[in-house]
């Protein structure tokens, strides 16, 4: 089952959906920030605190997984491409 927006994860949990996640650390260590996490990897530990928690802000699809882009070589320009 895909995670819900707002669901919280801990270091070592498997990333079930690629997307933007908010990371909350121990406030004495650093401020909240957002990172891109990739499906199939695991949420990382923090080198500066033992507290990081990861909350899904919005899911995002990798371009290689999108049906409109997965067959297109990344360096080839579209046929109707006109540089400005």
> Parallel, antiparallel, or unpaired for β 8-9 and 19-24?
unpaired
Kindly state whether residue 49 falls inside one of the protein's structural domains. yes
Kindly state whether residue 57 falls inside one of the protein's structural domains. yes
Q: How far apart are CA 51 and CA 32, in angstroms?
A: 12
Q: What is the pLDDT of residues 34-67, one digit of tens each?
A: 999 999 999 999 999 988 999 999 999 888 888 8
Q: How far apart are CA 73 and CA 40, in angstroms?
A: 23
Kindly state whether residue 25 falls inside one of the protein's structural domains. yes
Domain count across the chain: 1
Kindly state whether residue 76 falls inside one of the protein's structural domains. no
Kindly state whether residue 80 falls inside one of the protein's structural domains. no
Owning domain of residue 23: 8-62
Does pLDDT of 72 surpass 90? no
pLDDT number for residue 12: 96
The model's pTM is 0.76
């Amino acid at each position: 089952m895909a995670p819900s927006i707002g669901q919280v994860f801990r270091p070592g949990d498997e990333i079930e959906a690629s997307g933007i996640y908010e990371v909350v650390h121990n406030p004495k260590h650093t401020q909240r920030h957002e990172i891109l996490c990739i499906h199939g990897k695991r949420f990382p530990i923090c080198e500066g605190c033992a507290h990081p928690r990861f909350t899904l802000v919005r899911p995002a699809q990798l371009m290689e997984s999108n049906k409109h882009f997965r067959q297109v070589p990344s360096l080839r320009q579209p046929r109707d491409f006109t540089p400005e």
